[in-house]
Amino acid sequence: MTDFLPISRDDMRERAWYYYDFLVVTGDAYVDHPSFGAAVIARLLEADGYRVAVLAQPSWTDASDFAAMGRPRYGVFVGAGNLDSMVAKYTAAKKPRGEDFYSPGKRSGLRPDRSSVVYCTRAREAFPGLPLIVGGLEASLRRFAHYDYWEDKVRRPIIFDCKADLLTYGMAETATREIARRLSKGEAPESLTDIRGTAYIASDTSSVRFPFESCASYEKVCADKYEYAAANMQQYREHDSVRGRAIVQAVGERYLAVNPPQMPLTTEEFDRVSELPYTREPHPSYAEQGGVPAIEEVKFSVIHNRGCFGACNFCSLAFHQGRMVTSRSHESLIREVEKLTKFPDFKGYIHDVGGPTANFRRPSCQKQLKAGLCADRNCLTPEPCPNLDADHSDYLRLLRKLAAVPGVKKVFVRSGIRFDFLLRDKSGEFFTELVKNHISGQLKVAPEHCIDSVLDYMGKPRIEVFDRFMEKYKKLNDKAGKKQFLVPYLISSHPGSTLQDAVKLAEYLNRTGRQPEQVQDFYPTPGTLSTCMFYTGIDPRTMRPVYVPKTPREKAQQRALLQWRRPEKKRLVIEALKAAGRGDLIGYGKNCLVRPEVRRKTR
């Protein structure tokens, strides 16, 4: 058991611990793997010499689970888990999920709604006066006043509801280490106002140590959707580790102060974090409960990059990891794969060499390193930037080296790739070798829609780019003698998508012979630009109105249109086509989507 960090007093006794320094609380099961944020933070603190205990999915009806291991010396780090807790618990239709892949045996109901707030409340009860730090994805996306889809209202910055001393956002390794160092030296948490990648509550703005600008107050963004949209765009623009400024937002008579993002880890730092002594397994205590299914996809995968300059407006990555791409060294990844080959259940296959976007290996241009990301220009859309560096040669060399590790039969790429970026690689060598050697039967891509206006609202390339990609993909497969498929991800009911747009997407899919299995109804997660559009009906980039499909009926119709071949969707598809004025697609012709309903004769 000593390979895992302690989860009980018995574990601490086995280590002859009579005290410990930090408690790490998480809404996920304890999986000691670098894909799980709580494990990364806990192992990083351990590597810096602290005694760390992990409290995973505690009971939240009272504080007894929090107090069970005793009071830590320096503080408590609280996170909701790898997902926002509301996303983990509810579907886009706000229905409870039947399964939770981050819990033992996929059992649902093991985390509370708004886990960060609940866990912080219980930690305060268990340890009065102890420094309390909230972090992770949920805290990161909710650090400002934010629209909450489940309550259909604007909530305060999450640190106010958590009553935490500090909030860390982004990947937070650098901030966490600095916080731990200074708390262990006896500094009071209220003095830790100069750490990048953190936020705190202040009585006035005199404590802000960085150049800052103010955004609309909580009260203003609640009262005025125009103010909300403007504030959301301001927060998004300043989320840059090089040029970003601090943001101050008034909340009643107090202030939220959000310091600029932490600088991305250097390659050496990223290597160190990735090579900490993770067991790469769920804690053994879950074995009798069916294990933790979330480990299955990542156990024999490696993460080679962070950050994403794709800038999809519906994706939380830009507001969490940021748009600056950093990557690990070849040597570090080779060492990790060599360790994987020693696992008794390793079958010779590396399931993925990926990250947020698999084929991003470096910053999109050299200018970013000194000037940061452009505030009002995306790297890839609506047209690729002339300064874009789309060279895939380093990623290709990495895949070749990992495939040559003794014991490895195949190295696959299963993370989504950015197909428009791939097409910008002039050599074409990577695309050819990807198809030939690194696809496990199917490749994930995300065209998302086919209508230009909708794609613009999404921050995605035009559909003709995807068509070119599909054509090239088919030719390369034919040349290699392969029959490999594309798995296109699609989103229904995104802001800007009318019912007529959904019909046109269904026509496109029918014309190109696509029958999508995976369709995601747009899910308004906190902090994203698309969620801002959903709530306000305003595109924050232009401050112009945008159509938003909101009624449950229209959302169901748009989704049904993308799965028009399913018999159980037929009536809804016919209803949608009639509502869109497209009854011409109900019939027996080759371009029709559905046949008319047959009325049964009654005697």
Instruction: Report yes or no: 82 and 36 within 8 Å, Cβ to Cβ.
Output: yes
* SS3 call for 345: coil
Q: What is the DSSP secondary structure assignment for residue 278, as one 8-state letter?
A: -
| Range 9-202+253-258 has CATH code 3.40.50.280 | yes
Q: Is 447 exposed, middle or buried, given 0-12, 13-18 or 19+ CB atoms closer than 10 A? A: buried
Q: Rounded CA gap, 301 and 339, in Å?
A: 12
Which residues have a Cβ under 8 Å from the Cβ of 187 and sit 6 or more positions away? none
pLDDT for 123 equals 98
Q: What is the dihedral of CA 137, 141, 142, 146, to 10 degrees?
A: -150
Q: Which residues of the chain have pLDDT under 50?
A: 1
Helix then strand then coil, % of the chain, to nearest 5 = 35, 15, 50
pLDDT of residue 337: 98
Computed from CA positions of residues 234, 237, 243, 244, in that sequence, does the dihedral angle turn out positive or negative? positive
Q: pLDDT (tens digit, 9 = 90+) per residue, 358-370?
A: 999 999 998 888 8
Maximum alpha-carbon separation in the chain: 88
Contact 506, 498 (CB under 8 A): no
Q: Give the Cα separation of 318 and 438 in Å (integer).
A: 27
> Residue 98 contacts by C-beta under 8 Å, 6 or more apart in sequence?
108
Quick check: 303 and 361 in contact, CB under 8 A? no
pLDDT given at position 2:
52
The amino acid sitting at 512 is: T
Give the number of other CB atoms < 10 A from CB of residue 201: 19
End-to-end CA distance of the chain: 73
| H/E run at residue 86 | helix 85-89
pLDDT at 369: 86
CATH 3.40.50.280 domain locations along the chain: 9-202+253-258
Q: Give this prediction's pTM.
A: 0.95
